[in-house]
Amino acid sequence: MLLHLDASARRASYSRRLSGMYAERWRTAHPGDGYVHRDLAADPVPHIGEAWTELCDYVLEHEISEISRYKEAVRTPAQQDAWAIVEPLLDEVVAADVVLIGTPMYNYSIPSSLKAWLDQITFPRMSLRGRSFVVTSARGGAYGPGTPREPLDHQERYLRDFFRGHFGIEDVTFVHAELVNALLDPALRHRRVEHDRSLAAAIEAVTG
């Protein structure tokens, strides 16, 4: 199953365009393998609340590592409400062979809509091994290896570190469309060609 998430606040979004192309190719190559699309901007998941933290504390304290056992943590009506939000989100991730995330860079990092989803589905000592993660991203500037802004990339670095460190995922692919602001910002207009090249390479990467 392909779980496809989008997080851009824009409809005419580059990260959505790239994730859409990837999804189309995957679905053609895997007919009948299942597909779920979740638009985290149009239909945001709520931030975690206190009852969610109680579920998390219980899982930690009782050394529950199997996702299928998390529901043992539900003891109160408030925790039941919190679990009613978590359960379908977790079911989707567990069922996925590939998790595809279309995300912009916002303020050097990821949109809060994507962070809210990650907070909801993440529990202590949780493994999602065996799945592939693909991230299609768009950024206003350029953050590639060797560029002055490389150290400021807390989008790829954060997601890569988190997927590997917490979920145990090694198979993570990033595809970036960079310098999108060259289309808008007069100060970046001279870098328009670099944007065109970056976008063309990103399209090539997702369409194969």
Ligand X SMILES: Cc1cc2nc3c(=O)[nH]c(=O)nc-3n(C[C@H](O)[C@H](O)[C@H](O)COP(=O)(O)O)c2cc1C
List residues forming the annotated binding site for FMN: 13-15
Question: Do 167 and 127 contact (CB within 8 A), yes or no?
Answer: yes
Amino acid letter at 195? H
Q: List interacting residues with ligand X (CB under 6 A).
A: 8, 10, 13-16, 104-108, 138-141, 180-181
Pick between residue 18 and residue 73 the one whose CB is nearest to ligand X: 18
Pick between residue 2 and residue 105 the one whose CB is nearest to ligand X: 105
Q: Which two structure tokens, joined as six digits, stand for 83?
A: 């679990």
List residues forming the annotated binding site. Answer: 13-15
**How far from chain centre, in Å, is Cα 43?**
15
> How many CB atoms within 10 Å of residue 160?
17
Pick between residue 172 and residue 199 the one whose CB is nearest to ligand X: 199
Amino acid letter at 131? R
**Helix orientation angle between 50-61 and 77-95, rounded to the nearest 10 degrees:** 70
Pick between residue 14 and residue 123 the one whose CB is nearest to ligand X: 14
Question: Do 21 and 102 contact (CB within 8 A), yes or no?
Answer: no
In the complex, least distance from residue 176 CB atom to ligand X, rounded to whole angstroms: 10
DSSP 75-126: -SHHHHHHHHHHHHHHHHHHH-SEEEEEEE-BTTB--HHHHHHHHHH--TT-
Pick between residue 125 and residue 192 the one whose CB is nearest to ligand X: 192
In the complex, least distance from residue 179 CB atom to ligand X, rounded to whole angstroms: 8
Residue 178 and residue 196: Cα distance in Å, rounded?
A: 9
